[in-house]
Amino acid sequence: MSKRLIICEKPSVAADVAKALGASRKGDHYESDADIVAFAVGHLVEQVDPEAYDPKLKTWRYEDLPILPEVFRYEARDPRSKKTLTALHRLMKRKDVAEIVNACDAGREGELIFKLIYETAEVAKPIRRAWFSSMTQRAIRDAFDHLRDDAEMKPLENAARARSEADWLVGMNASRAATTRIGSRRGPLSLGRVQTPTLAIIVRRDLEIDAFKAEDYWQVRSSFEAAGGSYIGLWHAGSKDRLQSAAEAERIAAAATDGAARVVSVESKPVSEAPPLLYDLTALQREANTRYGFTATRTLAAAQACYEQHKVITYPRTSSRYLSTELVGQIRSVAGQVGRAGAEYERSAAFVQALDVLPLGRVVNDKKVTDHHAIIPTDDRHDVSRLGADERRIYDLVARRFLAAFHPEARSTATVVETEAGGERFRARGKVTVDAGWRAVYGATADAEPATDADDREQALPPLTEAEAVTCTAAEVLAKQTKPPARYTDASLLRAMETAGKLVADDEAAEAMKESGLGTPATRAATIERLIDKEYVQREGKGLRATDRGIGLVTALGDHVLASPALTGAWEKRLGDIEAGRGDRTAFMHDIVAFTTDTVRWFADKDRSAMRAHRRVIAPCPRCDGEIIERPLSYSCTSWKSKDEPGCGYQIWKRVAGRVITPEEALAYVVEGVSGEEIAERARAEREIVGDCPTETCDGQIIERERSFGCTSYRSKSETGCGFVIWKKPRRGPEVTLDAAREMLATGAVPQPPSRDPLGDCPTEGCGGQIVENSRAYGCTSWKSRKETGCGFVIWKKPRGGAEVTREMAAEMLRTGDFEAPKAAAPAREPLGPCPTEGCGGTVVSNRAGWGCDSWKSKKKPGCGFAIWRRQGDRELTVDEARALLEQGASELGDVA
């Protein structure tokens, strides 16, 4: 009997599909009489490195550029991927497999993952496509009842391959050209089709902020008393509400309080506000960043868990904010599921269910739904008690937005009152909610009035009539300064990427431009994190700030189109056209090759002077007549020349007690005359208290440290206290921020110790123990101590030379009896730069403990011995800091400014 082979992108998805289709586990896959369900683990296949085309390309030389493969070649990413790939190929070649179903993620990347698996299998069997927008059992079965023909997916495949090949050509060639001409072997530069214009957006904003000169201005705010109550008015003359002179402001304030006052006009008008559009991924990430401070990556991880693991929302990696007509029949049912999920949704859900006619004008638009519709709750039971803290917040955002979309407009009355006092005009604004409409979903009510505001914004106004006499009880002069543009946050940068750098505040205007944005909703979070990983950008609270390295690169590129958001946005539109069947992949790639060639040529006459560090002058030195400038590792005096000529010695390290000192903070310290040593002492004494330690019987507090949030009961390795810790970079999951750690402590969602539930029986003959998880391994319960080791059976979580073994993998090993640890690719020994030891000629490369000269072979053959230890004092060096040390021929922080 012939069968169909279904290939999913992840093991968890395969388990859900197997359950829906009635297949049971059989070795490394699931099988029934009709189906075989197997899985990849994300990308198994990747493009080969340039040296696979020609061995000489292993060395980066400008003369060998551009690298333009006639046919792109692919290989398994690593040994474990190769093992999985081989298993899939074996299944694809089975004689009883008559058809293969692509059930990988429904989008460009999922299509490419499957097509590369199929291509490398060298089989010719019919293909069909399963297209999911929800992972509920009903949605999965429905997808398999309506499989798509593979020919229908060809435009999506063309777009996926064009995107992948374009990124390789531009990234590989531009990075090598930049490194060999304006960079150095010490610090390879990374450029890319999307990441470089995104970096340029951040850098240009930062340069605007650096160049900004604050200007003083004054405003006059008066308090008025009327028969019906008090209100506040702000002075204005036409559209002008700022004064350039303090004396003029004082004169106006005095005149207002001395003279008679009367209401000149009262104008009221109705204001209506339409419900917001449903979420696509970018809009969801922006909202979560604005409300909760989530990074784009953190939001995506929580949304993906809500979709795959909990099945409470639909496919999150969508670029559409609309629903298709075929979903209209499910809307009331989905609202009912949301209403049953929690009491906070009941009333709003009941309103939607009771509507005779659903308002679909801003919700349904078939022309704006391509691969997937907007993110909405699923039409299935929502057990929100199973959701983690992040997942619960993401579900809440999606659920309320869905319900709000079917509520009426929010209506209010806006009032503007003009008051004359002492011959001067003062304006007051007020707003009263008449019908909360969709805002009721978020807790707003009718007749709600805003609190009195200090500026010219809405306030609670008393009843007033034209020509009414009032009294000016006080007039205050407000001294203010103009403010620089705000730094980009994840939210504002995502909007800038969506609109290719154009400043657009309105959702509907952005919607019209999104086809020409930078990247896609599914890739933007990864682009931001890549810029941070490459040390071009760093986080400062919620803000994103370009580093010297990032500023140097963008400054060196100048007006080159590689740094142009508009060009990359135009490319993204062409990829969208290819995906829609309107564009030509061959023509697109021809233009990419031409662009790549031109980019390589552009670097021909450039040299390293173009990448000189962008060094800001912070302030005059408080110790001598020098200036404090920003260097790669510190803010220090220009009197410093070398370790032997340290000048006045004034210096503030950029990283103190685990956090980055910003230029603004450095300026405040310099003006105060505080030394770097004093700052470090203050930071240690004033470490941020995150919350109380949750460990029973422990009365310590959780404080922020360089790599973790840990209990104050910890003193040293020998005095570990209660041992409670939240790692900033956990082994799995997104990086934990200060806000996230606070939330974990507040909600009790703190990291739990390894589960002691047995994975299975110990395979050692005659033992009788069970295998349980501990911090570093999966071991037998017969082990008691180093002296009483029991049978000694163990599966290490991180075997030497092997890939990390997860709990699921260990359980599978016990089930199959195959205890060979998956091999890991040798860790990349990234070159940091030439060894500075005279006469050595080696290269300093990364290793487990830091960076050392590759002349080292063993303890008996240590070579020149040059090394930069990653751990220095109470801090851990970043790659950028190590590179800065190497460029100055130093190995310790104490050797440099």
450 has a pLDDT exceeding 50 = no
Task: Work out the mean pLDDT of the chain and round it to a whole number.
Answer: 86
Q: Which residue do the tokens 């135009």 mark?
A: 570
| Confidence tier at 185 by pLDDT (50, 70, 90) | low
Output the pLDDT for position 705.
77
Output the pLDDT for position 264.
96
The per-residue pLDDT for range 535-548, each reduced to its tens digit, is 899 888 789 999 88
Output the pLDDT for position 251.
95
3-state SS, residue 725: strand
Q: Cite the beta strand spans of 407-464 per DSSP E.
A: 410-421, 424-435, 458-459
SS3 per residue for 582-616? CCCHHHHHHHHHHHHHHHHHHHHHCCHHHHCCCCC
Query: CB–CB of 285/491 below 8 Å?
Result: yes
Q: Which residue do the tokens 């400062």 mark?
A: 540
**Cα dist from 797 to 532, 731, 754, whole Å:** 28, 11, 12
Residues 343 and 773: their CA atoms lie apart, in Å, by 39
3-state SS, residue 46: strand
179 has a pLDDT exceeding 80 = yes
Mean pLDDT of all residues in 763-777: 82
**Rounded to 5 degrees, what are φ and ψ at 244?**
-95, 0
**Cα dist from 808 to 85, 752, 840, whole Å:** 19, 17, 47
| Confidence tier at 449 by pLDDT (50, 70, 90) | very low
Q: Which residue has the higher pLDDT, 608 or 281?
A: 281
Query: CB–CB of 721/713 below 8 Å?
Result: yes
Nearest CA to 176 among 47, 69, 60?
60
Q: Is 315 a catalytic residue?
A: yes
Output the pLDDT for position 769.
86
| Confidence tier at 801 by pLDDT (50, 70, 90) | low
454 has a pLDDT exceeding 60 = no
For the ranges 86-95, 249-258, 542-551, 818-827, the lowest mean pLDDT is seen at 818-827
- Quote the crossing angle between the two packed helices 565-579 and 585-602, to the nearest 10°: 160
Residues 102 and 119: their CA atoms lie apart, in Å, by 13
466 has a pLDDT exceeding 90 = yes
For the ranges 66-80, 394-408, 769-783, 802-816, the lowest mean pLDDT is seen at 802-816
762 has a pLDDT exceeding 90 = no
Two tokens at 448? 């709600």
Number of Cβ atoms within 10 Å of the Cβ of 621: 20
Residues 256 and 375: their CA atoms lie apart, in Å, by 54
| Confidence tier at 182 by pLDDT (50, 70, 90) | confident
Output the pLDDT for position 350.
96
Query: CB–CB of 832/845 below 8 Å?
Result: yes
User: Who's near 642: CB < 8 A, 6+ residues apart?
Assistant: none
Output the pLDDT for position 513.
52
Output the pLDDT for position 825.
46
The per-residue pLDDT for range 684-719, each reduced to its tens digit, is 666 778 888 888 778 888 888 777 888 888 766 667
Output the pLDDT for position 784.
72
Mean pLDDT of all residues in 140-160: 93
| Confidence tier at 142 by pLDDT (50, 70, 90) | very high
Residue 137 CA, chain-centre distance (Å), reads 30
Q: Which residue has the higher pLDDT, 676 or 493?
A: 493
What pTM was computed for the model?
A: 0.72
Query: CB–CB of 769/782 below 8 Å?
Result: yes
From the candidates 231, 315, 345, 635, which is the catalytic residue?
315
Output the pLDDT for position 894.
64
- 665: buried, middle or exposed (CB in 10 Å: 19+, 13-18, 0-12)? middle
**Looking at the DSSP assignment, which residues form a beta bridge with residue 148?**
129
Output the pLDDT for position 452.
42
The per-residue pLDDT for range 2-49, each reduced to its tens digit, is 999 999 998 888 999 999 999 999 988 999 999 999 999 888 999 999
Output the pLDDT for position 92.
96
Residues 311 and 379: their CA atoms lie apart, in Å, by 9
For the ranges 356-365, 395-404, 535-544, 702-711, the lowest mean pLDDT is seen at 702-711
Cα 846–Cα 849–Cα 851 angle in degrees, nearest 5: 30
| Confidence tier at 796 by pLDDT (50, 70, 90) | confident
Output the pLDDT for position 384.
92
The per-residue pLDDT for range 299-330, each reduced to its tens digit, is 998 999 999 889 999 999 888 899 989 899 99
Residues 195 and 557: their CA atoms lie apart, in Å, by 14
826 has a pLDDT exceeding 50 = no
